[in-house]
Amino acid sequence: MMFSEVVRLAVDSFKASKVRFLLTMLGMIIGSASIILVTTLGLTGKQYALDLISGIGPNMIEMQYDGGTVVGPDNTTAPDYMTRDDMNTVVEQVPGITYASPMLEFHDRISLGGGIVKDTMLLGVSPQYKQVRNLAIRAGRFFDDQDAIAHTKVAVIVKPFAIALFGSPTAAIGRSITVSGIPFVVIGVFEESVETFGQSEISDQTILIPYQVARYFTGTDTVKQIFFTMKDPTLVPAASEEILNIIKSRHRATSVYTAFNLTQVLNVMAQIANMLTIVLTLAAAITLVVSGVGIMNSMLANVQSRIKEIGIRKALGATSREIRLQFLTEAVFLSLSGGIIGTLVGLAIPMSVSFLTPFKIPISSWSAVISLSTSVLVGVLFGTLPANRAARLDPVQTLKYE
């Protein structure tokens, strides 16, 4: 028997019991669509999480001092902090750095008049700190190179602090705050581009001032942290190692420094998201297994209702292999039809969302391949038992069957 004839007989069998087969296909449709949608949801969640972390700065490298001391001439010890010269040396020797900023931190209590005093954290940074940390200016402006060179007493404050002090970001512009008796003019209000949940150097009481001015309050050229931005994220891992080696070479061997970047965080997040997507996809595939049981029951009923037909075909010379192939083809045809419809439905939903809304939903072509492949596999696995039962029927008994 030619395969085309086998397919034709399968189609004829489907037409003869449309309602039963359509109800059986419904499980495959739901299962296949679920695989597509679950995979799409997993990819969407992964992309959202990666975009959220990337908003902090995937190109950023943060150098910080973690411990170790230096011994002075009078046998006193002091922390072996990094310096601005370390930053300048790194910028000169490491290619691909687009922005760099030192960070000098100190704390003070500022007076707002009327007996009101606020505890604050002041960070002395360069004008490039805005680009390095990807800050969003909500009112006014960030201080520039001219402000830094002229040692202008200007400040940029974080948005929650501006609201607490002056009522709104706009109202804060042009107002003065006094730090250790020195008045600073607020020229800008900023906030981080993405929520860091307190895991950054910026708090709700942070004031940014030019690094050159901050040195007046500390009397030192040391810095707590140094930030660098690479022109390409692919340069970050190698540049982190190179920057770390340069700074270590300029300090005592016992001093400890750390180069932190988001590359490892992004990689771990991607792995977690991929694993969750796989687990959810496998959970959705259970629906197909349940649908496979339905296909097996439907095909067993189909074999039972066509016993006499099987006997006639065997009497006319059909082999057991041809009978087995016939019913196995019908099972695969049933499951694959449901899989194709379910795949189209599963793809249509996210594509419609992307087309009709501004949201861009990532769609994986592999999810469609997995859905269709699983549909065929389910048809073969759960169609084998009915096909074997049909192939083993005794032609003499089948001809006598009423």
> pLDDT digit string (tens) for 29-75?
888 888 888 888 877 877 777 776 666 667 888 898 887 665 555 45
Q: What is the pLDDT of residue 89?
A: 92
pLDDT at res. 322: 78
Q: State both tokens at 360.
A: 């861009």
Q: Count CB atoms within 10 A of the CB of residue 349.
A: 15
The amino acid occupying position 54 is S
- Work out the pLDDT band at 197, boundaries 50, 70, 90: very low
Do the Cβ atoms of 287 and 44 come closer than 8 Å? no
- Cα gap 369→366, rounded to integer Å: 5
Greater confidence, 55 or 160? Answer: 160
When pLDDT is averaged across residues 260-276 and rounded to a whole number, the result is: 78
Give the tokens for residue 289.
């297994």
Q: How confident is the model at residue 260, as a pLDDT?
A: 84
d(CA 227, CA 45): 29
Query: Lowest-pLDDT range, 82-96, 112-126, 152-166, 175-189?
Result: 112-126
Could you read off the pLDDT of 199-234 as tens digits, one per residue?
567 888 889 999 989 888 877 778 888 999 888 888
Q: How far apart are CA 334 and CA 338, in angstroms?
A: 6
pTM: 0.62
Closest C-alpha among 110, 92, 119 to residue 183: 110
Give the tens place of pLDDT for each residue, 133-157: 888 899 999 999 999 999 999 999 9
| One-letter identity of residue 355 | F
In this predicted model, which residue has the larger pLDDT, 7 or 101?
101
**Cα–Cα dist 237/256, whole Å:** 19
Contact between residue 266 and residue 236 where contact means Cβ atoms under 8 Å apart: no
